[in-house]
């Protein structure tokens, strides 16, 4: 969910090789990693025969979910994941499924606590704000309108990113088994898509230490 256009800086009156052009640097980086901008190749883990998937029967609500999204731009490096503090409110319905209310705010680059919010970041409510339908199999579809991720939260290029829209396709089995597949439509500083899995951990406190994720953790049905 991340880059504002930055005008090239004028050369200082000291001996330098060339002026720095952040926009061109980002474009060059994007060109070099063009094949990695889609969903990253995630190693499969043999967990035996998969059983049917069901939405949870019990409701839960917390502002202390840790959300980590590994998009293709990170080239399979979990330390380059996009990190958020998330609010999740799930209410079950009779007969299966339920309603999901979701919102999040980006954390700063390399945070250690959920309270390490990125300077300039904004809390965004996913749509519909009133809640998305969770199907009996635990799936739910939510979206964002325009969102901005400040450069202070971008461990890949350090530049602000602007998205015209973002999709989150959730799978929820319990408060400890939540994931989503993300697709974001980037419009600045370049136009393109970023995509990848997001995983969640309920920490219970904004001052709890953040867990370390491995590449094999990033998967969603």
CB-facing half-sphere around the CA of 16: CA atoms within 13 A? 9
pLDDT value of position 79 = 95
Residue 86 resides in a domain: yes
Residue 6 corresponds to which tokens in the numbers above?
């930055």
Per the structure, the count of domains in the chain is 1
Residue 79: give the domain boundaries.
Answer: 22-30+53-203
pLDDT value of position 57 = 94
pTM of the model: 0.79
Q: What is the DSSP letter of 57?
A: S
What is the chain's pLDDT, residue by residue, as a tens digit (221 residues)?
533 333 333 333 333 334 445 455 555 545 554 444 444 443 433 333 445 689 999 999 999 999 999 999 899 999 999 999 999 999 999 989 999 999 999 999 999 999 999 999 999 999 999 999 999 999 999 999 999 999 999 999 999 999 999 999 999 999 999 999 999 999 999 999 999 999 999 998 999 999 999 999 999 98
Residue 7 resides in a domain: no
Whether the CA torsion 215, 69, 190, 121 is positive or negative: it is: negative
Q: Are strands 98-106 and 132-134 parallel, antiparallel or unpaired?
A: antiparallel
């Amino acid at each position: 969910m991340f880059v504002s256009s930055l005008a090239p800086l004028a050369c200082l009156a000291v001996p330098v090789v060339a002026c720095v052009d952040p926009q061109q640097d980002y474009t060059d980086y994007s060109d070099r990693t063009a094949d990695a901008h889609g969903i990253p190749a995630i190693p499969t883990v043999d967990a035996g025969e998969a059983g049917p998937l069901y939405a949870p029967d019990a409701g839960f609500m917390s502002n202390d979910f840790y959300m980590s999204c590994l998009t293709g731009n990170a080239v399979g490096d979990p330390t380059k994941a996009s990190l958020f503090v998330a609010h999740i409110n799930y209410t079950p319905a009779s007969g299966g499924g339920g309603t999901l209310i979701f919102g999040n705010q980006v954390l700063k680059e390399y945070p250690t606590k959920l309270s390490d919010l990125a300077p300039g970041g904004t809390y965004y409510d996913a749509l519909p704000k009133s809640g998305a339908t969770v199907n009996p199999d635990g799936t739910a579809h939510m979206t964002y309108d325009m969102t901005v991720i400040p450069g202070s939260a971008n461990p890949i290029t350090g530049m602000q990113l602007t998205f015209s829209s973002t999709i989150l396709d959730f799978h929820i089995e319990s408060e400890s088994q939540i994931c989503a597949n993300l697709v974001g439509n980037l419009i600045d500083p370049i136009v393109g898509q970023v995509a990848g899995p997001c995983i969640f951990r309920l920490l219970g406190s904004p001052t709890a230490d953040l867990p370390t994720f491995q590449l094999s953790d990033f998967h969603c049905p």
